[in-house]
Structure 1
Amino acid sequence: MAILLDHETRIIVQGMTGWAGTHHTIQMIEYGTKVVGGVRPGKGGRSHLDLPMFDSVADAKAATGANASIVFVPPANAAAAMLEAIEAELPLIVTVTERVPALDMVRVREALRGSRTRLVGANSQGVLAPGICKLGVMATGSERPGTVGIVSRSASLTSEVVAQVTAAGLGQSTTVGVGGDAVHGMMMRECLELFLADPGTEGIVLIGEIGGAEEQEVADYVTSAKPSKAIAALIVGMHAPRERRMGHAGALTLGDVGDAKAKVAALEKAGVRVAPSAHLVGATIADALSN
C-alpha cells in the first residue's frame, strides 16, 4: 500500500500552462498519473496538453472529480492558489513552489486548521507511490514498489536514498518530500505517523537537515510511542556554518536551534538508527529491518 496516493487519485495542476507546469505535467502523465485538468484564471474553457482548463479550483473539481492538486504558481501568488484549493476542500495539495513568503505560509497554515485538506510543501518535490502515482517533480527510474517509506526535507538526497533502498532489494511504499522552506504544511512527525499506520510499510527512512526542530519532534514522538517498525535516519549539515542559509530556505541554524549534531543525538537516544554517511542509508535501513 501507499500513503496519500492511490490508483484513484485524480489531479489538477494549478499553473499548468507555464513552462514548469507544462513540463512536469507531461512527466506525470507519462508515469501513468491521472491528471484530469488545469487551473489558470482567464483560460477557462480552453485546453492545454489535451486537458481542459478552468478558471478556478472549484470549477475544476466539480467538472473532473479531482481529489488532489499540484501547485506550480510563482511565490507571490502561491499562497492564494493554496488557499483556493483549501476552500474547494481538495483532500491533498502538493506545492512545488520554493521560497513562498513566510507570512503567506502562516496564513495558509491557519486555513488548514480544521479543514479537510492535507498540504505537502511548499518547496516540496512531491509524493511518489512507485508504479501507482507520481505527484511531483522528482526523478524516476530507480524507484521500485516495496516496503520502505521515505520522508525527506531534501529532493536530491531523496533520489539518492531511493536508489540505495532499491539496490538493497527493499523498494519503496511511498516517498514524501515535506518541503525545505521554514514554514510548510505536513510535518515529518505527521508523515511518520501515516507510515506507521500503513500495513504496506515495514521500515521508514527520515532524511533531515539543519534548521527547525522537526527531527527533535520526531525523536520525542518515537520515544513516547515506541513504534515496532524499523526507523533509520540521515541528518545532513554536520559541518554547516551557523547563521548561514545552506540551500533551502529552512536550512539555517540560529543559536542552538536546528543544529545537526543535536538532531542526531535526539534521534539516537530515541532508538532511531542514524546513518553515518549519505552513502550508507540503504545499508542502515536494511540492517534495521533485519534486526
Structure 2
Amino acid sequence: MTWFALSLGAAFFMATNSAFMKRFFSDLSAWEMSLIPYFYAMPLMVLAMPFIAIPAIGPRFLPSLAWVLPVLMISIILHYRAIRMSPLSLTLPFLSFTPVFVLFTGGFILDETLSVPGVAGMLLVVVGGYVLNLDAARYGFIGPIRAIWKEPGSGLMLIVAFLFGLTSVGGKVMILDSSPMFAALSVFILYGLLLTLILIWTGRASLKSLTRRPLLGTAAGLIVFAEIICHNLAMSMTAAAYMITIKRTTGIFSVLYGWILFNESGIRFRLLGTVIMTAGAAVIALWG
C-alpha cells in the first residue's frame, strides 16, 4: 500500500503548502505567492532529474506541454489569489470539482464519455458544495448557492478546478508520451524558470522580494517538492483514478488547517460538505 501512503502524502503536502503560504506570505501579491514555492523547489527538481530514467518522448508531448504550461501558470496564480483573500475551508474543498470538469474536458480531448456513476459522483460534488455553505441557509434555500459566489475565493477556486480539469487531461497525454516523473519535473522546472523571468520582467516580482525570507521560502519549496514527488511516484504505482481519489482528501486537510491555524468558523458544515465532495470525486475517479 505504498501508493496509498504516497497519495495521502500528496494530499497532505498540497494542503500544507496552501496553509503555509497563507500563513507566512499573504502580505505578498498572488503573483509572488504563486512563484515562491516553485522558485525554491527548482534547484531540487533540477538535481532530481539525473536520477530518473529519460523515457522515449512521444509526438504529443511537446504540443501538450505548449498549452498545459500557460494554463497551469494561470491556474496556480488564481489558486494563490483565492487562498489569499478567502478562508482555506471555503476555497481548497472546491478543487473536488476538478473530476467533474474532467468528465467534460476528457470527452473533448480524449474522447472519453460520461457514465451513470460519473454523473452520480458529479451530483455528490455539487451537493457537497451546497452543504459547505449550509450556514447561509438562514437566507433561504438558495442562500448557500449565493454564498459560493459572494465569497470571492470560492468562485475563483471553481475556475481553478476547471483549469486543473484541462491541465489534468493534458498532463495525462504528456505522461502517456513520456513518464510521470519526467513529465512533472519538466513542467515545474519550466514553470519556475519562465514565471520568474516573466514576473521580474513585468515588475510584478523582484529578486529582493523572492529572497527576502530564504528560510521560509526554502520550507515552501521543500513542501511543494514533496507534493510533486509523492504525487508522481503514486501515479507510477497505481491507477490514476485510485491516486486522484485519495488526493481529493486535500479538502479535508484544508478545513482542519483553517480551523486549527486560522480559527475559521462554520467548520462543522464545511467539514461535512468537504467529505461529501470528496466522496463524489472518489465515485467519479473510481467508476466514472
Q: Do they fold alike, i.e. is TM over 0.5? A: no
TM range (shorter): under 0.3
Q: Give 1 or 2: higher strand fraction.
A: 1
Q: Give 1 or 2: higher helix fraction.
A: 2
Taking structure 1 as the reference length, what is the TM-score of the superposition?
0.22
Structure with larger RCO (C-alpha < 8 A, sep 6+): 2
